[in-house]
Amino acid sequence: DQQVKQNSPSLSVQEGRISILNCDYTNSMFDYFLWYKKYPAEGPTFLISISSIKDKNEDGRFTVFLNKSAKHLSLHIVPSQPGDSAVYFCAASAGNQFYFGTGTSLTVIP
């Protein structure tokens, strides 16, 4: 059973606007949540993370929000740039393992 879910397979956004990628999870024992970005023919690269004791973490144009009561995680990209076009995976850790979502393909339209 998928413990981390990304229900939107794809998202298109105009350049300069905000991109919001969403992720839901089921396991209340997750202690860290991360976002990875993946370009075609490359491995995923780490983008940003948040501890379960926080509700927001910001790094430049990227902000991750955590709503533990709703078991919901979101990544905000502001402003969106064409180079942000990629597949984004959310992931959550419990113990010695990470669990990944199925990914959301973001297209930023120039």
Partner 1 sequence: EAQVTQNPRYLITVTGKKLTVTCSQNMNHEYMSWYRQDPGLGLRQIYYSMNVEVTDKGDVPEGYKVSRKEKRNFPLILESPSPNQTSLYFCASSLIWTISKGLYGYTFGSGTRLTVV
The residues binding partner 1 (CB under 8 A) are 2, 4, 6, 31-32, 34, 36, 41-46, 49-51, 89, 91, 93, 96-103
Separation in Å, CA 22 to CA 41, 63, 65, 103, 109 = 24, 12, 10, 10, 19
* Radius of gyration (C-alpha) of the chain in whole angstroms: 13
Q: Which is nearer to partner 1, 31 or 55 (CB)?
A: 31
Strands 104-109, 10-14: pairing is parallel
Least separation in angstroms between CB 84 and partner 1 = 18
Q: Which is nearer to partner 1, 14 or 27 (CB)?
A: 27
Q: Which is nearer to partner 1, 38 or 71 (CB)?
A: 38
